[in-house]
Structure 1
């Protein structure tokens, strides 16, 4: 059913809500997401939206997820469709596939800006902006009659467009005039600013339904990443509240639920929207709790006077080079026990995992559990990407390997705040191992992720602490870097001769080749915490599946970076050669009681 018709027919005593999901990267994550969507579908959302990767990079998974959701759970789907790197044939194919699955709602987005001129993916000039998709669909009677098309709204301005509010409003007007039937906004946390924006939209004569995007804060690190990515205005009161609890993921999660509830109450009380769009990050606990506190679900249990104390509290920002937030894994979580949430009836693991219906992640980084439904989050509406035109000047014009070494060293020395692989400056934890990172980088092993060994530090420690205050933190030292195949061969020989089963490693290249000495199906927990009344919490697990998934992304960054330089230029030749020739290496030393064990081993390689 078309969303506009469903909105018009909505007769519930409370506003409607929709959920947003993305296709996980792995088959296991996909399989575990489907029952999660089934459980959340029982809350009776008006619709469920499914995101679409730039250039159709998640096309098959997006269509499969959308089709399964609509056919298995009877919930209407809004399929996102971006025009970045899409040609007419690809658009036609996607729309036909959606139509065959009975999907009638499309959210037409521009998506990520083109990453330079990427010759290997043709760009159709007819699809440069969201309005182009809207106009195209409405230009064909067989599509126009079948689909209801929505578009994005940006209460705080589009993060990639340095244009005036009036110009942004004009673009929105043009999209509606072209046939858009509803508007879903980018996520925000400043309600007053949203209410001012929507008043201006209505004064302009735009009458279509506007659905505000609300994302409950899951972890402090993911919040910061999304704020930066989307250019979100965060009220000082929110920043201050988070600053006091940023090391305790459960407290952040609880605060995120209450903040979302307060925002929704303020927005709906103003009577300016018919419902809200909840961005789930493929997680279920927080949105359940939000809807329960709003009393929008018909659930008999009440959490009004308490916040659920889930039996997990994972690390908000495990130690890395201050670049990659080291992983959030799924961990034990208390079952909510909502009366209308059917149990999964299946076990997805033991020890670090409980039943699937209580399996909730803290989506922090690269090495979460690859079976998790939340594995592989790319940010809202497909806006991932770490290389953007405005950041190129900070990195200069690298034309030699020594230029790249200097770039990575400049990041270690805080002369630059980011690299294509590192969205922010070094963390305080990285300073504990800075001399070792410098030594590796100077030899041409460009480090992109690491953490020091930690043996039982108090969880309240300001540098390495996380979780509840009454606990202890343990970490194995690990490091990731890019190096040549010749150096990799030397590392492998060193492991065989002196590793003594204390060292595990993986290595991968851009051709998909993988090497290493981790046993088949081996899983290395490299960060864990011990807290009263809980099982041991493992927040970082490195295994082949999640390493290869990350390696694929890492090499795409080199390719992406190269695409910003003209073909034949020294910069492009250098970056493409690195993409083709280097290996990404991940090394773990299991002796966490010796803080120097990993670095001593590598210095002898």
Structure 2
């Protein structure tokens, strides 16, 4: 096995702190392959290690193992594999640990992951693993796993599922360390004062292992809102107010994110007993490169083992470690439809901006916007932090106890009327862009066609427009109208026939079921750019693209949301039967109308002349 990260930390010597980089497995094969190239480039900056996330309930386990193994073996980068222990079938923990050993992986970040939902007697979890400490203890007790170094998670801002106060959470952290953890990696945070206070309390509790704080450079305003909400991150008033002022200028947000990360890291590494930092990349490259370069930390990995005083004597006074300075949210600063914005909100991670036909790698970090960037992008996917789900118990309570299709329609209508702040597919409130098409979304919903993604047609709005604008100022943005919804198979067949008979080449569609049945009129390799922008000094940027690979990846995720929601109700309940039935019975459909100059073109097709709805 490769050198353990715990040992690398102990023997690390340099005039600057170390850094590690976090990645998640993209949802498509080409995104996966391109991420490997990105990891290789970022490895040249000299990270001490990289870490690979593990999806909720192990839903990315195969890709996580493959990515971690390739990073470790083919690219010779010390790799930490995240591993969650709840909602995993019995034996899967051993399988994952053995697979990691086979790939030469020697470091594990042991996480609890999603908490068991409902009553544990009907949740298929391994009873050996209820808390993160159980996983640490299990690894330590098995002779065959003695070579692993183990990290555990900590939450300076508090855990979103916690039922105790800060002192209680620190006691839980101590239990994980006492069970055998070698070091701690924290969840991302932005309140540096709060972290410094928390770190002192952790040390006062007798926890002496290294603490590596998690820092995420802000990439876009919308991705910042989404990830911090999932993590329960506390946002300082100053940071939030400064971001709100620039939220409509993507370049300014990106620059602000880089500068904020640099200032945070400088304070953390000089005012606390911290040996290094953990950078959450969201599979993006440019901002991380800028942070490392401007800190003066970019040089090859250390080669001389030595003892790091910061690690061996945590009781010593802190000393400076360096003197170097709703549906689819189409725009990076807003969630558009959002008549149920999961489609968009989930992926507001940056995706390929697009340069010419090839959409080359240099453009992948430029002014992204929406879930459907290019499916080849390394950032294509949903990086739920540390094995968490988008659906939580408090949210499920707000959505009620649906027993009929009419109950589901009622929930979506309440969201459209701003009486609900979220739906299972839209983790943020309705956004202003949705109001431009809200009457059409209402009409679809009242007929039990449940929209989970949409956007209005836009013909040359200024990029600084507060509702539909994106990218740098001085440009113009365009959008084709599209809508996505869940419907019965009979409705899919009606839609398909009308598009064939009356679409006249103006309409493309994709339709798929949870059982992988698939229909489309788009030729193989066909791709629909539905959002693009023209900016001074740049080629045309295609920031939102709908094609087969990205649609199917989203379909899988959207269908899994029904199952996640269903799991909060007992197996024989009417609610669970309804939601599981919807998942297996309904199809996800996406319809694009190419006439972006007529804002009503798609709706006329749907509602007029032998209306479908």
Q: TM-score, normalised by structure 2?
A: 0.90
Report what 1:196 is aligned to: 197
Report what 1:374 is aligned to: 379
Write the distance in 1 (CA, Å) between the matches of 2:299 and 2:581: 58
Using the TM superposition, give the Cα deviation of residue 189 of structure 1 relative to its aligned residue in structure 2, in angstroms: 0.1
Greater Cα offset, 582-591 or 72-81 = 72-81
Unaligned residue ranges in structure 1 (runs of 5+): 300-312, 333-348
Map 1:209-248 onto structure 2 (within 5 A).
Answer: 209-248=210-249
Write the distance in 2 (CA, Å) between the matches of 1:153 and 1:501: 54
Write the distance in 2 (CA, Å) between the matches of 1:363 and 1:150: 33
Contact 1:329 1:541 in 2 (8 A): no
Write the distance in 1 (CA, Å) between the matches of 2:163 and 2:264: 27
Contact 2:188 2:214 in 1 (8 A): yes
Contact 2:55 2:384 in 1 (8 A): no
Report what 1:29 is aligned to: 31
Equivalent of 2:75, from 51, 73, 80?
73
Report what 2:338 is aligned to: 321
Report what 1:504 is aligned to: 508
Report what 2:592 is aligned to: 588
Using the TM superposition, give the Cα deviation of residue 317 of structure 1 relative to its aligned residue in structure 2, in angstroms: 3.2
**Corresponding pairs, count:** 573
Contact 1:87 1:127 in 2 (8 A): no
Cα displacement string for residues 363-412 of structure 1 (whole angstroms, at most 9, x for unaligned residues): 65431211111111322212232x22112222221111111111111111
1:353 aligns with 2:362: no
Write the distance in 2 (CA, Å) between the matches of 1:350 and 1:532: 16
Classify 1:352/1:452 alpha carbon distance in 2 versus 1 (closer, same or farther; 3 Å).
farther
Write the distance in 1 (CA, Å) between the matches of 2:591 and 2:555: 14
Write the distance in 1 (CA, Å) between the matches of 2:362 and 2:476: 28
Write the distance in 2 (CA, Å) between the matches of 1:131 and 1:46: 25
Map 1:154-173 onto structure 2 (within 5 A).
Answer: 154-173=155-174
Contact 1:154 1:185 in 2 (8 A): yes
Classify 1:121/1:364 alpha carbon distance in 2 versus 1 (closer, same or farther; 3 Å).
farther
1:127 aligns with 2:129: yes
Classify 1:564/1:256 alpha carbon distance in 2 versus 1 (closer, same or farther; 3 Å).
same
Report what 1:107 is aligned to: 109
Write the distance in 2 (CA, Å) between the matches of 1:364 and 1:235: 25
Cα displacement string for residues 425-444 of structure 1 (whole angstroms, at most 9, x for unaligned residues): 21100001111111111111
Classify 1:504/1:62 alpha carbon distance in 2 versus 1 (closer, same or farther; 3 Å).
same
Cα displacement string for residues 66-96 of structure 1 (whole angstroms, at most 9, x for unaligned residues): 1111122222111111102224521111111
Classify 1:527/1:364 alpha carbon distance in 2 versus 1 (closer, same or farther; 3 Å).
closer
1:263 aligns with 2:264: yes
Contact 1:248 1:314 in 2 (8 A): no
Q: TM-score, normalised by structure 1?
A: 0.91
Report what 1:436 is aligned to: 440
SS of 1:73's partner is coil
Contact 2:510 2:589 in 1 (8 A): yes
Classify 1:572/1:361 alpha carbon distance in 2 versus 1 (closer, same or farther; 3 Å).
farther
1:330 aligns with 2:352: yes
What CA RMSD, in Å, does the superposition of the two structures yield over aligned residues?
1.9
SS of 1:429's partner is helix
Write the distance in 2 (CA, Å) between the matches of 1:572 and 1:27: 33
SS of 2:437's partner is helix
Using the TM superposition, give the Cα deviation of residue 465 of structure 1 relative to its aligned residue in structure 2, in angstroms: 1.1
Report what 1:139 is aligned to: 141
Classify 1:517/1:561 alpha carbon distance in 2 versus 1 (closer, same or farther; 3 Å).
same
Unaligned residue ranges in structure 2 (runs of 5+): 301-329
Write the distance in 2 (CA, Å) between the matches of 1:22 and 1:485: 34
Contact 1:115 1:560 in 2 (8 A): no
SS of 2:224's partner is helix
Using the TM superposition, give the Cα deviation of residue 357 of structure 1 relative to its aligned residue in structure 2, in angstroms: 5.7
Equivalent of 1:573, from 577, 586, 603?
577
Write the distance in 1 (CA, Å) between the matches of 2:161 and 2:152: 16
